[in-house]
Amino acid sequence: MMYKIIVNLKTDPYPIFIGRGVSEKLPRFLADKDIGNYAVVITQRKIVSLHKGRIGCLLKGIPYRIVYVPQGETAKSQEWAFRIIETLLSENKGVLKKRIFLVCLGGGVVGDVGGFIASIYKRGIPFIQVPTTLLAQVDASIGGKTAINVRQAKNMVGTFYQPQAVFIDPEFITTLPKRELRQGFAEVIKYAAIKDKDLFTFLDKNSSEIQKLVPRYLEKIITRCAQIKAEIVSCDEKEKKGLRTILNFGHTIGHALEAALCYRRDFHHGEGVALGMICAAGISVKLGLCSQSVAEKLADLIKKYSLPVTARFDTQKVLASLTYDKKFVRGSIRMVLLTFVGKTRVCSRINLADIKKSLLKIKQ
Ligand SMILES: NC(=O)c1ccc[n+]([C@@H]2O[C@H](COP(=O)([O-])OP(=O)(O)OC[C@H]3O[C@@H](n4cnc5c(N)ncnc54)[C@H](O)[C@@H]3O)[C@@H](O)[C@H]2O)c1
Ligand SMILES: [Zn+2]
């Protein structure tokens, strides 16, 4: 089964293809759309060694070269971005005129740095996203945000630049370490909580099949999440109307926890988002926006996907990093809260005392 979703932008709408083996359709797409005649594939050695066969099909009949970036955030740097740009320049030296396009084959790191390079090299060349982590398949590869990090902060330098297409093949996910899968599940639960009660119930009822990566279950949840993100992005491409804000559910406190716990190797973005969602739901109950049972259902679902509902942290450190947040103005902050499962309200004046109470509830 192949699903097709259109990211319906005013200029240059683009398709997202989802399904097992869908990456094999890339050569045909490239030929039909006349995207270019030479692919530079940005990826990581680990991905190529795990998926040799699949990558062979992905690039069948296309002249290409592979550029490897290191694992982790190091790749999202000025050094790596310009190293790759040097490679692109060196490809242009021959007699034959190459019309280069990029293929970002990897997780959010590869997609972010690759998309950024595509957007600035010669003021923009086409690129294709082939996300290989669950997080990238449901989130990072869709929406056109590209970024690299600078010494001071993550994602500080970047652009809005949309790919020509996104090819989501859930088969890539089968080799993902459990910890990386959890990162993706945190975002999947987020989509359900903010936008889709049926997805929430589906995640709850079928948690074992989904976590065993049974293909048709996996395809269903990825497709639904991609659809939700595509719809939101289509309405608010450049994040100017505030509609993308709801995608930040769980992220305000989540980011602060991540920052405060950066020394812990087992604490990543997904863990932060899970705990951030629990705090946001707790604050929603406290403000009378939603019932206790909504908050409990959310916590139960988070537990089912092996994400944390409590953690050890220094409350003052978390609060300190929250007050650095640009959304924090005069003692209060804007947060996405829940009214029901699948429904949100953006509240602009959440005070620090309520946040502190919610943190104390998740503290071990
Ligand atoms: N642009 C956006 O809208 C957006 C949204 C969310 C996150 N992000 C960014 O995405 C990044 C995180 O992305 P991520 O969680 O995908 O991390 P990642 O790209 O670092 O990938 C996680 C790990 O999984 C490995 N990996 C990738 N595919 C694999 C596979 N199929 N099998 C086995 N291992 C595989 C990678 O080599 C890496 O070690 C962050 O930098 C974040 O800022 C961007
Ligand atoms: Zn996130």
Which of 46, 51, 306 shows the shortest CA–CA distance to 181? Answer: 306
Q: Tell me, yes or no, whether 233 lies in a domain.
A: no
What is the pLDDT, as a whole number, of residue 308? Answer: 96
What is the pLDDT, as a whole number, of residue 263? Answer: 58
Q: Does the active-site annotation cover 297?
A: no
Q: Does the active-site annotation cover 229?
A: yes
Pair 170, 289 in one domain: no
Pair 146, 254 in one domain: no
What ligand 1 atom has the least distance to the C-alpha of 173?
31
3-state secondary structure (DSSP) of residue 96: coil
Of 114, 141, 176, the position where a domain reaches its end is 176
Decide if 166 contacts 129 (C-beta within 8 A): yes
Q: Tell me, yes or no, whether 22 lies in a domain.
A: yes
Phi, psi of 312 (to 5 degrees): -95, 125
Please tell me the residue having the least CA distance from ligand 1 atom 6: 140
Pair 165, 286 in one domain: no
Q: What is the mean pLDDT of each run of 10 residues along the chain (364 residues)?
A: 93 94 93 94 98 90 95 96 96 82 98 98 97 98 96 91 97 96 98 98 98 96 98 90 92 93 81 98 97 98 97 93 76 92 94 94 94
Q: Tell me, yes or no, whether 342 lies in a domain.
A: yes
**How many CA atoms within 13 Å lie on the side-chain side of 356?**
11
Q: Tell me, yes or no, whether 168 lies in a domain.
A: yes
Q: Find the domain containing 28 and state its range.
A: 3-176
What ligand 1 atom has the least distance to the C-alpha of 147?
1
What is the pLDDT, as a whole number, of residue 324? Answer: 76
Q: Does the active-site annotation cover 251?
A: yes
Of 176, 198, 219, the position where a domain reaches its end is 176
Pair 169, 303 in one domain: no
The answer, yes or no, to whether any atom of ligand 1 lies below 6 A from the CB of 44, is yes
The CATH number for 71's domain is: 3.40.50.1970
What is the pLDDT, as a whole number, of residue 330? Answer: 74
What ligand 1 atom has the least distance to the C-alpha of 184?
15
What is the pLDDT, as a whole number, of residue 94? Answer: 72
Marked catalytic residue, from 149, 180, 244, 258 = 244
What is the pLDDT, as a whole number, of residue 265? Answer: 73
What is the pLDDT, as a whole number, of residue 81? Answer: 98
Which of 320, 326, 316, 325 shows the shortest CA–CA distance to 363? Answer: 316
As a whole number of Å, the end-to-end CA separation of the chain is 45
Confirm whether pTM is higher than 0.85.
yes
What is the pLDDT, as a whole number, of residue 152? Answer: 81
What is the pLDDT, as a whole number, of residue 206? Answer: 98
Buried b (16+ CB within 10 A) or exposed e, 263-282: eeeebbbbbbbbbbbbbbbb
Q: Give the number of domains in the chain.
A: 2
The single-letter code of the amino acid at 296 is: E
What is the pLDDT, as a whole number, of residue 323? Answer: 84
Decide if 235 contacts 227 (C-beta within 8 A): no
Which of 40, 39, 66 shows the shortest CA–CA distance to 52? Answer: 66
Q: Tell me, yes or no, whether 9 lies in a domain.
A: yes
Marked catalytic residue, from 54, 145, 195, 220 = 145
What is the pLDDT, as a whole number, of residue 92? Answer: 81
Of 148, 176, 204, the position where a domain reaches its end is 176
What is the pLDDT, as a whole number, of residue 111? Answer: 98
The neighbour count for residue 303, using CB atoms within 10 Å, is 13
Q: Tell me, yes or no, whether 27 lies in a domain.
A: yes
What is the pLDDT, as a whole number, of residue 194? Answer: 98
Which distant-in-sequence residues (6+ apart) come within 8 Å of 96 by Cβ?
none
Cα four-point dihedral sign 261, 265, 269, 275: negative
